[in-house]
Amino acid sequence: MEKLPTTSESIPTDGLFRRSSWSRFVESQIQNVMLLCASLSILTTVGIVFVLLNESVYNVTGGTAFFQEISPWKFLTGTKWHWDSGDFGVWPLLTSTLQVALIGGLVSIPLGLASAVYLSEYATPRTRRIIKPTLELLAGIPTVVYGYFALIFITPYVLRPLFGLVGLEVGVFNGLSAGIVVGIMIIPMVASLSEDAIRAVPQSLREAAYALGSNRFDVSARVVVPAAFSGIMAACLLAISRAIGETMAVVIAGGQNTSGLSVNPLREVFTMTSYIVNVSSSDVEAGSLEYKSLYAVALTLFCMTLTMNILSQWIMRRFRETYQ
């Protein structure tokens, strides 16, 4: 009777070992490539921070940084910004920036949140397939188009007739129209992120609320939205952070030629991004104090957006609901 081969004799282990070694090598290289991609974003951020600090706080090449000539206290507390006369108080730029971001938030948060609730809780699958891509098209429109939309349509055909009824004059460039178009621009961000947070709420919570006799509005407003509170708040803060850093739409709709401290949204505003564009496109000499002030303003803007992002992450961790 012929002898049957043993297990070690019947299985060709050399080829299997070679294939396994090659698979591990390929997997390790893929991991290294992904690590490199992740590291590039970190290195880019580090490079940006280095440039801002080098020109505004301490110049490592031996030159003079902005805050070595202008007191940080004067910069942070001053109420006049006239670089021609040496007044570098950031409050006029800061108030205009926050004013536009606040108006944008008042427009985008209610509309975005209502859109998210409708798409998640009320819309049929067919309706959702039509409305959601259409809503997200707003995110693909260039910001320059938003600026001219505010300048050509919103200000002359909406704001001026509306405020003219009560005798208020609206300038050609104004903070209200800039804030409105910025709010329209960030509606997709609020709606998309809020909808993701709402759809992450377990279906069992909805079914329990319906079993207790709640209608669809009660389930949405009293069960689903509170359960998704952390994600919704994070979405709103990220959207406002995006509004703070918006440039071209604000420059075109809000203007860039005034620098007085004012909270009137019907007049021309001068935001931090407007100032950066103004200096970058002017004939200011490189290395001058006016040129260095660009980096000081950019550093302030960076700190504001970084704070908003950190706050949104903290809210997500602090109020996140864990379901099993």
Four-point Cα dihedral 224, 230, 234, 240, nearest 10: 70
Q: Are 151 and 172 a contacting pair, CB within 8 Å? A: yes
Residue 287, pLDDT score? 76
Count the neighbouring beta carbons within 10 Å of the beta carbon of residue 320.
13
Residue 18: pLDDT over 80: no
- Confidence at 124, pLDDT banded by 50, 70, 90: confident
- Confidence at 278, pLDDT banded by 50, 70, 90: confident
- Confidence at 159, pLDDT banded by 50, 70, 90: very high
Residue ranges per structural domain of the chain: 13-56, 72-319
Contacts from 204-208 at CB under 8 Å and sequence distance 24+? 205/323
Give DSSP secondary structure letters for 281-312: TS-PPTTSHHHHHHHHHHHHHHHHHHHHHHHH
Render pLDDT for 229-274 as a digit per residue (tens, 0 to 9). Answer: 888 998 998 899 989 988 889 999 988 766 667 788 888 888 898 8
Q: What are phi and psi of 171, to 5 degrees?
A: -70, 165
Residue 143: pLDDT over 80: yes
Q: Are 179 and 105 a contacting pair, CB within 8 Å? A: no
Dist. CA 299–CA 278, nearest whole Å: 16
Q: Are 124 and 131 a contacting pair, CB within 8 Å? A: no
Residues in the chain, total: 324
* DSSP-based three-state secondary structure for 179: helix
Residue 324: pLDDT over 70: no
**What's the mean per-residue pLDDT of the chain?**
85
Give domain 72-319's CATH number out of 1.10.3720.10, 3.20.20.70, 3.40.50.970, 2.80.10.50. Answer: 1.10.3720.10
Give DSSP secondary structure letters for 54-88: HHHT--TTS---GGGTS-HHHHHH---EETTTTEE
Render pLDDT for 27-70 as a digit per residue (tens, 0 to 9). Answer: 888 888 999 988 998 899 899 999 888 888 887 777 788 888 88
Give DSSP secondary structure letters for 216-238: HHHHIIIIIHHHTHHHHHHHHHH
